[in-house]
Structure 1
Amino acid sequence: MKHKNLKKELGLWDVYAIATGAMFSSGFFLLPGLAAAQTGPSVFIAYFVSGLIVLPTMFSMAELATALPKAGGTYYIIDRSLGPIWGTIGGYGSWLALVLKSAFALIGMGAYISIFIELPITAVAIVLTIVFGLLNVVGAKETTALQKILVAALISIMTFYILQGLFAVFSVDFFEVTQRQFTPLFTDGVTGFVATVGMVFVSYAGLTKVASIAEEVKQPDKNIPLGMFLSIFSAILIYVVGVFIMVSLLDPTELRQDLTPVATAGEVFMNWLPGETGIILIVIAAVAAFASTGNAGIMSASRYPLAMARDKLFNPKFSQLSSMGTPLYAIMGTVGLMIFFLLVFDVTQVAKLASAFQLLLFALLNLAVIVMRESRIEEYDPGFNSPWYPWMQIAGMLLSAILILEMGLLSILFTVVVCTFGVAWYYYYAHGKVDRQGAIFHVHARLGKRKDYGLEREMRTILREKGLREEDPYEKVIARSIVIDEWDKNISYKQIVDRASKLLAERMGLNEDELAKNFYEAHGMGTIPIGNGVAINHTRLDKDISPEMVLVRISDEIVVSTEGFDILNEQQTGETEKLRTLFFLVSSSEQSGQHLRILAHLAEMIDNKHFIQRWKTARDESELREVLLRDERFINLRVRTGTPLENMAGKQIREVELPGESLIAIIKRDGAIKIPHGNTVIEENDELSIIGQKEDIQQLKEL
């Protein structure tokens, strides 16, 4: 069953709003007083240390989410790296933990609302769950629109709160206040401080949940890591400075018993505002924080059953999208589970039990980076690479293990129960249905064992979905490509390979026989994708070269054996394939990722239902290239008298000013193709093929 992809309509600020909204709720508005009871005034340092401890997992998640931007986030990543058993554990555990956290947040929201309106808290939480669930059904863009409003209100009020608080702290004798309020700094020694770090660490756990909606993010290579970095910076700043203000201004004994420390501290330094304006602002911020956590939680949590259903680990209904492009059944299931927990359990107590499982997931995510890199899967092409590999990941795993031990027996027992259920469910429901292994089997392959080639195929599909990066020279490669328009009906595949090798060798200064040998070896290894009447032969050389390509159009079909080819659609081919088109790509081994992205985009262009018809009817070499170029990235212009381009005639290429970074890739002159250089002189009636960014080409089109 082919599943529809979710719409890519979320930008940088959507990512920031979801990540930030998933972090702010009880961690700031409830937890500081309880945490201060364990370690005293050093509680603000505990928040800072916890923020640093989450960085390894954040770096790992940023790398994994840009390499695997698919719905399901943590589940999908763990499944594809460690295998479906661990994926089942991660999927169910992540879904359960996020549902509990979201329900807990809405209980907190109900509690703050009840300050001004006396209503039953659980009933309010259930109504809010239904409202946010309906909003999620309407669409991701609408959900994140509310999310951005909530986060904007939260950040604005908290910024005002912090500025006012710092002014209050520094308006008195700072050193006297510090000595009085921060002595002793650690009331329960190192043990109490470490335990507090573990307690407040969960305040940052929501940061990684943004990966569950990665499939819906535009330009994930840029927007996911940048959104996460901005979010963690905001969270650490507000947490550390906000808690520092509370410790500075409140009586230590009262702070340790206070469940609303933000409001209590606000009453001290915001009393200059008329009436109850100060406390109203704080309640608004708290409601916005809890609402954003609940809203983002439902959105993120619903992507777990969606992804698991796609992978046959869950009922297939949960993979279906509504007419509005949202996972209707997955959202309904998530909302239903939240309501069940709200009605049956003390959510406050159960939510805390999920903390150890969150830390286990963090450890597995750090392990996943090591597995993916060591698997040496060429298609693993993250847009962001975690620094200091593998020490960053090893540190993340060790820190998670240390904090798990601080969680207590019940939290660890909860984690064991979830893991046991995940394994049992896999063998009860999914075993035998799932023909898939993780990247860890590629690591085994390096030790002489088998590996899962299906994962490589899936990751090639992900490369196609992600598209090219701005720095990839796809248009330039196509524009410079050598074209063979072959009319000999008796030509063989071997003759075409030899001819393409000769032309590429002449242009690139390579050995013709060596190049042909590489193309033949690629065929033997089954690395040539074939489908839709097209085959793509490609090789990488250990040389400092720019990518070059040969395009081949065959007038009549040639029949080739599919043995030694990577069949793109195994259900629509037999033992032979009729080819009308061949592509040959040569790149440097040092640009392996770029090579694969060009291949992936080429496959995307070929997959277009109009490709073969346009290819067969193209009148000349120029039109053949145009079939493969993105319309918004290129334009053909003729230099003629009486047109805006007439002043180009007689000038060298380097003297011509074009918008932005656009460039003249080829010149068609008197029916011949000319590859221009800086000193090439443009002549009257030359046809220029110009490539560039969309906005630059648009300026040229307006001419």
Structure 2
Amino acid sequence: MKHDKLAKELGLSDVYAIATGAMFSSGFFLLPGLAAAETGPSVVLAYLVSGIIVLPTMFSVAELATALPRSGGTYYIIDRSLGPMLGTIGGFGSWLALVLKSAFALIGMGAYISIFYEVDILYVAIFLTIVFGVLNVVGAKETTWLQKVLVAALVTIMFFYIIQGVFEIFSMDVFAVAEKQFTPFFTEGVLGFFATVGMVFVSYAGLTKVASIAEEVKNPDRNIPLGMFLAIGTAVIVYVVGVYIMVALLDPVAFREDLTPVATAGEVFLDWLPEPGGLILVVIAAVAAFASTGNAGIMSASRYPMAMARDKLMNRHFATVGKLGTPHWSILGTVMLMLFFLLAFNVAEVAKLASAFQLLLFALLNLAVIVMRESRIEEYDPGFKSPWYPWVQIAGIILSIILIFEMGVLSILFTLAVSVASIVWYKYYAEGKVERQGAIYHVHARLGEFKDHGLEGEMRTILREKGLRQEDPYEELVSRADVLEFSPDTEYDTIIREASNKIASKLGTPVDELVEMFSHTDDNIAIPIAKGVTLNHARIEKKVSPELVLVRIKEGYSDKKLKKEKSDSSSGEKLHSIIFFISPQENTGQHLRILAHIAEMVGSKSFLERWCRAESEEELREVLLRDERFIRITLNPDDNTQQYIGKMIKEVSFPGQSLITIIRRNGEIKIPHGITVLQEGDELSIIGEIEDIKELKTMLKQ
């Protein structure tokens, strides 16, 4: 069985675990001593500066991943913004870099296990690669459950570690320690320091990999940026404070040659634990760190070939999602590639070469934000927007380029080789199969060139899948919508004018202005959004509340009447609903989200039947409301609703932020106000959050 989409099963804790787990491994457990050899005690500052330098890319990825929550992360973002050729480079490069990083992490895990047990490190890495691969095939939720356990163990032990280390330092003469251990601060000068920044910068690179599983994240607008912020905060604290402890407590010469500095420092201040308790804790943390990097790496890496296969850049089998809801062929391909590198190369050496490529991707991701913003695509609607645009992105590009040149000639050559190979693949395998061009063509369109309309459609689909945001007043909008009924022989101009009259009375806008706006939609025709339903929408420059008018033609309305010029191009379909929607020009994202949600509601199988069967205006509105966020009650002295009779609305307490939107009294509609007194027989339409409506139904025993 095949599925087109991956299930949205991952929450905030999963995002945090994946982002955090992807950062901790060699960067903390192997690298500090080697980095200190390049710059001395200033290695502590190098880790802090690296954490700051990664922020522009983190902001950019958080914005792009909330706007484009699709599997493939870096590849998908670069492809849709900069075009499929650069997308191919980003896809293959990201896949390769993450596979190498994951394989290297499992080698490191084997090294730490060998402290207590005589094992062949390579065989341990191969075994773990297969185990994590199987786990990834079983399911994303199962994979992230293990990831959360590993990260929880890692973070708990590391915070215990740094707290104990800080206490140890403060039990000594802090100033004497600073003078002895931190002087001279820059042993190799400014150039040596910045070379070290480039070396340790890749310790934070795993943070952005969470974008590759964005499609599987629930509420991505909140969970992706928040999970990334929490992860980078954790990483900076552990890296900076942890390395400070190592510098302060270890002999400088020995530290700069130590490949297990965390364990060595732990033995100094965890000596109060039963022997070898301190070492065991550090080894457990190291194993958890390397395992979480390897596990998260396989999960994230496998989404790259899947996304590329969806877009015809790789064999279509990589896009297959099996019965267990995971891309099993893509996972298998990732595991096989890891095994190949483990068996054929010195993974530690090859993994270092991928660092420059990672920095190239960071530069492209920052450029992607600029392209998406400047493309002015209305459907580009990120849940998080990077602050200080475009200066943050420009800084991210410049810093990435500077650090690339700190990586050395071999790393740069490796990056060029992968890029050239990717271009050759694209030219000879994919170019003839791919029609999209990327958002950069929308920038060209502003200069008189053409644009890729397919991208706009794809992003509208994303908007519909993401759904409404909490601040979007959809239920309130529908609840106060005017309802009009017309016969099949009514002219469309008459329908437009009547709908415009209703909206004009609420907004204080001239009727003729609204008629003009609704009469000049694309091709002078309302947009069909579902069987029997069309939508005519416009945006007004005034600051107004969005408004809806719902039109029903129960007997059916010929879509030929919607055309200004009579032609035979009509589908001949009978229309039963015409929806007019207007909102302010300043809130493009909300306008598009509401449009997308209306399309989703009218697209349900039962919509037309319920729409035509409705016997009142309230019932027509209810057809467009989400049942779980809506309730209608009638005030009756013989049931639990009697508590509201005789009270002003402002005196009534409903769960949460639930609101009375419409009162139907004696067959007439009343708009509720705070001083409106509720009477016996009133029908109240109430909207609220899902949990609040559930609580209200329980209170009223409905």
Instruction: Say whether the fold is shared (TM-score over 0.5).
Output: yes
Q: Which runs of 5+ in 2 are unaligned?
A: none
Aligned position for 2:441: 441
- Please tell me whether residue 604 in structure 1 is matched to residue 603 in structure 2: no
Cα shift at 1:559: 2.7
**Distance across 1 between alignment mates of 2:441 and 2:316:** 27
Structure 2 residue 490 is the aligned partner of structure 1 residue 494: no
Q: Secondary structure at the match of 1:267?
A: helix
Aligned equivalent of 1:532: 531
Could you tell me which residue of structure 2 aligns to residue 582 of structure 1? 578
Deviation per CA, 1:189-246, whole angstroms, max 9, x where unpaired? 0110000000000000000000111111111111111100010000000000000000
SS in structure 2 of the partner of residue 431 of structure 1: helix
Q: Distance in 1 between matches of 2:561 and 2:308?
A: 33
User: Is the alpha carbon distance of 1:402 and 1:482 closer, same or farther for their aligned partners in structure 2, counting shifts above 3 Å?
Assistant: same
Within-5 A mapping of 1:296-311: 296-311=296-311
Give, in angstroms, the shift of residue 671 of structure 1: 2.2
Cα distance in 2 for partners of 1:133, 1:272 equals 39
Task: Give the whole-Å Cα distance in 2 for the aligned partners of 1:133 and 1:72.
Answer: 18
String of CA shifts for 1:534-556, please: whole Å, max 9, x gaps. Answer: 11111111111111101112112
Instruction: Tell me, yes or no, if structure 1 residue 683 matches structure 2 residue 694.
Output: no
Matched with 1:239 is 239
TM-score (norm. length: structure 1): 0.97
Q: What letter corresponds to residue 228 of structure 1 in structure 2?
A: M
2:692 equivalent in structure 1: 696
Which piece of structure 1 moves more, 665-674 or 454-463? 665-674
- How many residues in Structure 1 have an aligned counterpart in Structure 2? 695
Question: What's the CA shift for 1:577?
Answer: 4.1
Residues 526 and 308 (structure 1), Cα distance of their counterparts in 2 relative to 1, 3 Å cut: farther
How far did 1:675 drift? 2.0
The match for 1:511 is 510
**2:637 alignment partner, one of 641, 654, 659:** 641
Partner of residue 587 from structure 2, selected from 575, 591, 597: 591
Residue 469 of structure 1 deviates from its aligned partner by: 0.6
Q: Pick from 596, 600, 616 the counterpart of residue 620 of structure 1.
A: 616
Does 2:244 correspond to 1:248? Answer: no
Equivalent residues of 1:102, 1:298 under 8 A apart: yes
Residue 2 of structure 2 contacts residue 321 of structure 2 at CA under 8 Å; is this kept in 1?
no
Q: Which moved more, 1:362-371 or 1:417-426?
A: 417-426
Once the 2 structures are TM-superposed, how far is the Cα of residue 119 of structure 1 from its aligned partner? 1.7
Deviations 1:283-319 (A, max 9, x none): 1000000000000000000111111111111111111
Structure-2 separation of matches of 1:558 and 1:85 = 47
User: 3-state DSSP class of the match of 1:645?
Assistant: helix
In structure 2, the CA distance between the partners of 1:440 and 1:344, relative to structure 1 (3 Å rule), is same
Distance 1:434 1:41 in 2: 52
Q: CA RMSD in A?
A: 1.7
Identity %: 68
What is the 5 A alignment of 1:555-574?
555-560=554-559
Q: Conserved in 1, the CA contact under 8 Å of 2:10 and 2:217?
A: yes
Task: Letter of the 2:427 partner, please give it.
Answer: Y
**Aligned: 1:317 with 2:313:** no
Name the aligned partner's letter for residue 488 of structure 2. K
In the alignment, structure 1 residue 415 sits paired with structure 2 residue 411 = no
- Structure 1 gap segments, 5+ residues each: 566-572
Q: Using the TM superposition, give the Cα deviation of residue 564 of structure 1 relative to its aligned residue in structure 2, in angstroms.
A: 8.5
How far apart, in 2, do the equivalents of 1:346 and 1:527 lie?
63
Structure 1 CA distance, aligned partners of 2:289 and 2:318?
Answer: 29
Shift in Å at residue 273 of structure 1? Answer: 1.0
Spell out, residue by residue over 1:601-652, the C-alpha distance to the aligned partner (whole angstroms, 9 max, x if none). 1111122222222222222211111111111111000011122222322332
Separation in 2, partners of 1:518, 1:482: 19
| Amino acid corresponding to residue 171 of structure 1 in structure 2 | S
State the distance in 2 between where 1:199 and 1:349 align: 14
1:14–1:542 Cα change, 3 Å: same
Q: Which residue of 2 aligns with 1:23?
A: 23
CA gap 1:633/1:55 in 2 versus in 1, 3 angstroms: same
CA contact (8 A) 2:530 2:599 kept: no
Q: Report the Cα distance in structure 1 between the residues aligned to 2:560 and 2:357, rounded to whole angstroms.
A: 51
Cα distance between partner residues in 2 of 1:651 and 1:384? 42
Q: TM-score, normalised by structure 2?
A: 0.97
Corresponding residue for 2:102?
A: 102
Aligned 8 A contact 2:526 2:534 in 1: no
Verify the 8 A CA contact 1:109 1:291 in the aligned structure 2: yes
Which residue does the alignment assign to 1:376?
A: 376
Secondary structure at the counterpart of residue 543 of structure 2: coil
Letter in 1 for 2:302: S
Asked if 1:674 is matched to 2:670, the reply is: yes
Aligned residue number for residue 570 of structure 1: none
